[in-house]
Amino acid sequence: MTERASLVRRLASALIDHAAHVLPPLLSSWGEVMKCEIDHIEDDVEAVRWAAGCVIASYLEMGGRKMNQSFGTIVRRPSAFLPLAMSLTALALLGGAYLFALANGQAGLERQQDEGAIAHLWQLLMAGQLPVLIFFAIKWLPRAPRQTLYVLALQVGAAVAAMAPVYLLNL
């Protein structure tokens, strides 16, 4: 019986060692605490259960830290893609209004006293992306700063492209 208990205890210790090994370097102290804690659990089966839980927690921590954080992966996140889509939609609205004005014999877009539906949609699209941009920056800057700054630069570029016709045509 003692041989079986020592085998189960060795299994628990091996699991704890593995859990400590897969932790990110910043959490190495947590791994040391796990190794000390296993000595205070008297029941061998409970020690294995606890050690298995530590392995699961370590893998969850590792997975959250080592996920693919490339530019392509981050830019496909809804909080990154949505502001780009909103800016491009706002720009497309202006382009469509310009083409519509040309088709109706006008010289182009002109400033009007009463803003039309296109102007209101443009304003909603441009203002509506700000909360999404802020959420994106708060969530991703700590995780992948360089890639997040690239995506933010792309988002700002799309917003400037949507605002440029309004500024240049004095709409």
Q: Who has greater pLDDT, 67 or 156?
A: 156
* Structural domain harbouring 43: 2-65
- Mean pLDDT, the chain, rounded, equals 83
Residue 106 and residue 56 share a domain: no
- Provide the b/e sequence for 13-48 (b: ≥16 CB within 10 Å): bebbeebbeebeeebeebbeebeeebeebeebeebb
Residue 46 and residue 124 share a domain: no
Query: What pLDDT sits at residue 64?
Result: 54
Query: What pLDDT sits at residue 161?
Result: 93
Residue 149 and residue 131 share a domain: yes
If one counts the domains in the chain, the total is 2
Residue 81 and residue 42 share a domain: no
Residue 35 and residue 102 share a domain: no
Q: Which of 37, 65, 93 is the last residue of a domain?
A: 65
Residue 122 and residue 89 share a domain: yes
Q: Which of 65, 80, 97 is the last residue of a domain?
A: 65
Span 54-106, pLDDT tens digits: 888 887 776 555 456 788 888 888 899 999 999 999 999 988 888 887 887 77
Residue 83 and residue 59 share a domain: no
- For the residues 130-134, what does the mean pLDDT come to? 93
Band the pLDDT of 132: cuts 50, 70, 90: very high
Residue 158 and residue 75 share a domain: yes
Q: Which of 43, 65, 87 is the last residue of a domain?
A: 65
DSSP 118-154: HHHHHHHHHHHHHHHHHHHHHHHTTT-HHHHHHHHHH
Residue 116 and residue 86 share a domain: yes
Band the pLDDT of 169: cuts 50, 70, 90: confident
Q: Is residue 1's pLDDT more than 50?
A: no
Residue 78 and residue 10 share a domain: no
Residue 76 and residue 147 share a domain: yes
Residue 79 and residue 127 share a domain: yes
